[in-house]
């Protein structure tokens, strides 16, 4: 549609592992390195961003197993000594719709293109935004303006105006 949208696929691998030691009440943990882990029934999930973190082709879902061995595991074992003995059981990968401009979503209308509403570029935190975005865009569609939630700060206009709304806490 001719919209210059700085949103590109960035791969994130999710690793599933078991640990011989039970860790009751283990919360979701995010390490300053960007590694995160959390319990999932009888096992754990973890992920860590690649560094460097290049754009990938839309059909590239290859799993980077070396990322677990060389990056995730050492940090896991440092954070929780029992994780020294983890066993990787499976892995999967997905894409962030990564906004390289400021790592936040573009929402709502695009100047000059009537009937186009954006909800793109969530950069890995769109699930948390989903209820608010759904509500705000529904209001926009119904009333032609935001009502209960004013999400204009996330409008596309900030990109051509070079006014980033930078999100720093993307993992
Ligand atoms: C590994 C991983 C972990 C994540 N963890 C979190 C988290 O902890 N917290 C969080 O808030 N967010 C997280 N996210 C991000 C979150 O999943 C996304 O921000 C959110 O799903 C974006 O929602 P969406 O509706 O914009 O896009 P999507 O959920 O990707 O939906 C787009 C839909 O459009 C469909 N589609 C694509 N092309 C076409 C086409 N041409 N025609 C018709 N349909 C099409 C797709 O099949 C898909 O169903 C994570 C993402 C990944 C990959």
What is the pLDDT averaged over residues 98-125? 96
3-state secondary structure of 89: strand
The rounded mean pLDDT for the chain is 96
Domain with CATH 3.30.9.10 in the chain: 7-96
Find residue 92's DSSP bridge partners: 14
The rounded distance, in Å, linking the Cα atoms of 16 and 4 is 37
Indicate the DSSP class of residue 129. Answer: H
What is the pLDDT averaged over residues 15-40? 96
Q: Would you state the pLDDT for residue 134?
A: 97
Mutate to test the pocket of ligand 1, among 125, 129, 131, 134 (most ligand atoms within 8 A of CB): 125
Of the CATH numbers 3.30.9.10, 3.40.50.720, 3.10.180.10, 3.40.47.10, which one belongs to the domain with range 7-96? 3.30.9.10
The rounded distance, in Å, linking the Cα atoms of 144 and 50 is 41
CA dihedral (57, 104, 123, 74) positive or negative: positive
Report the nearest-CA residue for atom 30 of ligand 1. 97
Integer angstrom CA distances of residue 78 from 12, 31, 32, 83, 134 = 22, 10, 12, 8, 40
Q: Is the pLDDT of residue 170 over 90?
A: no
Atom of ligand 1 at shortest range from CA of 14: 1
**Which two structure tokens, joined as six digits, stand for 147?**
């009502």
Report the nearest-CA residue for atom 5 of ligand 1. 124
31 alpha carbon to ligand 1 midpoint, in Å? 24
N-term to C-term CA, the chain: 30
pTM, entire model = 0.92
Q: Which residues form ligand 1's pocket by a CB distance below 6 Å?
A: 12, 14, 94-96, 119, 122, 124-128
Find residue 39's DSSP bridge partners: 44
Confidence of residue 169 (pLDDT cuts 50, 70, 90): confident
Report the nearest-CA residue for atom 53 of ligand 1. 94
Phi/psi for 47 (5° steps) reads -155, 160
């Amino acid at each position: 549609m001719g919209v210059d949208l700085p949103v590109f696929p960035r791969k994130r691998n999710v690793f599933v592992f078991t640990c011989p030691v039970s860790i009751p009440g283990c919360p979701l943990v995010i390490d300053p390195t960007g590694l995160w882990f959390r319990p999932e029934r009888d096992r754990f999930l973890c992920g860590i961003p690649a560094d460097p973190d290049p754009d990938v082709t839309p059909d590239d879902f290859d799993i980077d197993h070396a990322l677990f061995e060389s990056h995730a595991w050492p940090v896991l074992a440092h954070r929780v000594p029992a994780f020294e003995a983890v066993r990787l059981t499976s892995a999967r990968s997905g894409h962030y719709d990564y906004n390289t401009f400021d790592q936040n979503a573009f929402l709502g209308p695009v100047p000059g293109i009537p009937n186009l509403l954006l909800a793109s570029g969530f950069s890995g935190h769109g699930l948390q935004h989903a209820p608010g975005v759904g509500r705000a865009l529904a209001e926009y569609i119904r009333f032609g303006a935001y009502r209960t939630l004013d999400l204009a700060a996330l409008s596309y206009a900030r990109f051509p105006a070079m006014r980033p709304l930078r999100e720093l806490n993307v993992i």
